[in-house]
Structure 1
Amino acid sequence: MSFSNLLKELFQNLNQQRLRSFLTIFGIMWGTATLILLLAFGVGFRDQTVLNMRGMGDQLAIMFPGQTTKPFQGYGIGRPIRYRESDAQMLKNNIPDIDVATPEYMSSMVIEYGEKRRNSSVGGVYPVYQELRNTFEQPGGRWLNQTDVDERRRVIFIGNRLAQNIFGEEDPVGKQVMVNNMPFTVIGVMQDKIQNSSYSQRDQDRSFIPAPTFSAITGTDIVNNILYTPKDPNLADGIQDQVYEVMGRKHRFDPADRDAIGIWDTNEFWSFINIMFLGINGFLGLIGFFTLAVGGIGVANIMFVVVQERMKEIGIRRAAGARRHHIMAQFFLETFAIIAIGASAGYAIGWLLVQATQNLPIKDFVGTPYFSPQVGIIAFAVLSLVGFAAGLLPAWRASRLDVVECLRK
């Protein structure tokens, strides 16, 4: 029997049993759409979580000063550890696997413009800070540069919400604000970014000035934090151990005393994210798989019925010389044709559902579902597995029927 005749016969059989055929195809269609929607939500949730985390910075580690909890070389416990700018350069020089290390001053200050006043966490930083923390400027402004640092300029870069609170609809760039009663010129406003974590204040409410300017106006050379990034994220744990060793030698504390320095390494979060979303997407995929498997069971049941109804046809074909693998191929083809019809409709409905959920007000929490090639490939693989499982037993049974018994029907 030719391929075209097989398909013609299949559609004739589907037409003769319309309700049964519809319910069978609907099960596959619903399972496919469910699988696609669940996987799309999983991909969207992962992408949104990564985007939220990027507000803090990529592959970033922040060192916070602490105090000793172990005696060391004659020093007692409870001794505070304080950083200076030279510590950042020392880490860079002594730990080859560190890519960038930079100090950060920080203090709460009052920023005034006309009658408006706001408290803001002001950071004293160097130009490289922008790339580490993703604090990029809006069009028309700029970030701190090396000339600002060298000349200790009184210039300030402000967060977008702070700018809105102080200036309203007015363009802040070029305007002068008072920072703790000292005049500073606004050089830029931060682009809006999603940030779900911070270690002082959200960057949208913060402001930044050159580090030497901060040190001069506050009269201190003690920095609040040191930020660094590894050349290879896989080396993050080893770099932490080296940081304790290097800082321990400089500040006279036991490298095993982890309370002397606090390190928030976002690389650990990325590792956790990869494992977490592997589990989440695997769980969502499993739910979708079982939903689709129910439809596959329906297809298998229908194919068993079809085999029973067409025993005489099978007997005639076998008597005419058809081999067992020909019979198996016929029923496998019919099974996959039914699944292909349901899957095509399911793909279309799943895609429409994904598009329909694009504008739901849930983006900041679970992200936007995304029909990625990965989702399509996984759905196709699951459908292939379900189709093979649904067609195998009916096709095997049809090929093993006794010719004489079939002709008696």
Structure 2
Amino acid sequence: MSFFSLFKELFQNLNQQRLRSFLTIFGIMWGTATLILLLAFGTGFRDQQVLNMRGMGDQLAIMFPGRTTMPFDGYGIGRPIRYKEADAKLIADQVSDIDVATPEYMRSLEITYKEKKRNSSVGGVYPVYQELRNTFEQKGGRWLNERDQEERRRVIFLGNRLAENLFGEEDPLGKTVMVANTPFKVIGVMQEKIQNSSYNQQDRDRSFIPASTFSVMMGTDQINNILYVPSDPAIAPAVMDQVYEVMARRHRFDPKDRDAIGIWDTNEFWAFINTIFLGINGFLGMIGFFTLAVGGIGVANIMFVVVQERMKEIGIRRSVGAKGYHIMGQFFLEAFVIVGLGASMGYVIGYGLIQAMQNIPIEEFVGTPYFSPQVGLIALGVLGFVGFAAGLLPAWRASKLNVVECLRQ
């Protein structure tokens, strides 16, 4: 029997049992759409969390001063560890696997423009800070540069919400604000960015001035934090151990005393993200798989009924020379066509639902679902398995039927 004849006969059978065919195809269609939608949500949620974390910076580690909890070399416990700018340079020089290390001053100060006042966490930073923390400027403005640092200029870069609170609709560029009663010229405003974590205040409410200006203005060389980036995220734990050893030698504490200095390594978050979302997407995929499997069971049941109804046809074909694998191939093909019809409609419906959800305001919380090639391939693989499983037993049973028993029907 030719492929054309097989398809013609298949569609004639589907047409004769419209309700049964519709329900069978609907089960596959709904299962496919559910699988695609769940996988798309899982992918969108993962990407949104990654985007949120990028607001802190890429592969960044932040060092905070602490207190010793172990006696060491004649020193008791409870001794505070304080950083200076030289500590950042020492780490960069002595830990070869660190690409960059930079100090950060920080203090909550009042910023005033005309009658408006806001408290802001003012950071005294070096120009490299921008790349580490993804604090990029809006069009027309600029970030702090080396000349600002060298000449101790009184210039300030504002977070976008801080600028909005102080200036409203007025353009802040070039205007003068008072920082703790000291005039500063606004040189830039930060682009809006998604940020769901911080270690003092979100960057949209912060402001930044040159580290040299901050040190002179506040009369201190004691910094608040040190930021560094390992050359390879895979070796971040080893780099952290080296940092503890370098700082322990300089500040005289036991390198095993992890409370002497605190290190927030965001690389650990990336590893956590990969693990947790692998589990989440696996869970969502299993829900979609079981939903689709229900449709596959429906296909298998229908194919068993079809085999029973067409026993005489099978007997006639076998009696005129058809082999068992011919019969098996015919029923396999029919099962895959049914699954293919339902899957095609499921793909269209799933894609349509994903597109319909693009404008729903849920991005900040769970991300926006999107149809990726990965989602499509996973769904295709699951559908292939379901089609194979749904057609195997009915097709095998049809191929093993006794010719005489079939002709008796």
Identify the TM-score tier after normalising by the shorter chain. over 0.9
> How big is the shift at 1:300?
0.2
Which SS does the other structure have where 1:127 is aligned?
Answer: coil
Determine the C-alpha separation between the residues in 2 that align with 1:244 and 1:168. 45
Q: Which residue of 2 aligns with 1:255?
A: 255
> How big is the shift at 1:378?
0.4
Amino acid at match of 2:322: A
Q: Which residue of 2 aligns with 1:384?
A: 384
Q: Which residue of 2 aligns with 1:218?
A: 218
Which SS does the other structure have where 1:71 is aligned?
Answer: coil
Determine the C-alpha separation between the residues in 2 that align with 1:76 and 1:307. 85
Which SS does the other structure have where 1:174 is aligned?
Answer: coil
> How big is the shift at 1:358?
1.0
Q: How does 1:7-406 map to 2 (within 5 A)?
A: 7-406=7-406
Determine the C-alpha separation between the residues in 2 that align with 1:329 and 1:228. 63
Uncovered stretches (5+) of structure 2, i.e. residues with no partner: none
Determine the C-alpha separation between the residues in 1 that align with 2:324 and 2:198. 68
Which SS does the other structure have where 1:200 is aligned?
Answer: coil
> How big is the shift at 1:253?
0.3
> How big is the shift at 1:362?
1.1
Amino acid at match of 1:169: E
Amino acid at match of 1:176: T
Determine the C-alpha separation between the residues in 1 that align with 2:143 and 2:311. 80
Amino acid at match of 1:8: K
CA deviations over 1:134-192 (Å, ceiling 9, x no partner): 00000010000001001110000000000000000011111111110101000000000
Determine the C-alpha separation between the residues in 1 that align with 2:309 and 2:70. 83
Which SS does the other structure have where 1:117 is aligned?
Answer: strand
Determine the C-alpha separation between the residues in 1 that align with 2:4 and 2:145. 72
> How big is the shift at 1:357?
1.0
> How big is the shift at 1:56?
0.5
Which SS does the other structure have where 2:371 is aligned?
Answer: coil
> How big is the shift at 1:308?
0.4
Which SS does the other structure have where 1:106 is aligned?
Answer: strand
CA deviations over 1:375-399 (Å, ceiling 9, x no partner): 1000000000000000000000000
Which SS does the other structure have where 2:121 is aligned?
Answer: strand
> How big is the shift at 1:247?
0.2
> How big is the shift at 1:408?
1.0
Determine the C-alpha separation between the residues in 1 that align with 2:400 and 2:95. 71
Aligned length: 409
Deviant stretches of 4+, over 3 Å: none
Which SS does the other structure have where 1:153 is aligned?
Answer: coil
Determine the C-alpha separation between the residues in 1 that align with 2:63 and 2:351. 45
Q: Which moved more, 1:355-364 or 1:79-88?
A: 355-364
Determine the C-alpha separation between the residues in 1 that align with 2:191 and 2:361. 22
Amino acid at match of 1:297: I
Determine the C-alpha separation between the residues in 2 that align with 1:218 and 1:329. 83
Determine the C-alpha separation between the residues in 2 that align with 1:142 and 1:209. 12
Amino acid at match of 1:6: L
Which SS does the other structure have where 2:250 is aligned?
Answer: helix
Determine the C-alpha separation between the residues in 1 that align with 2:101 and 2:370. 36
CA deviations over 1:232-278 (Å, ceiling 9, x no partner): 00111011111110000000000011110000000001100000000
TM-score where L is the length of structure 1? 1.00
Amino acid at match of 1:342: G
Instruction: Provide the identity percentage.
Output: 78
Determine the C-alpha separation between the residues in 2 that align with 1:15 and 1:134. 61
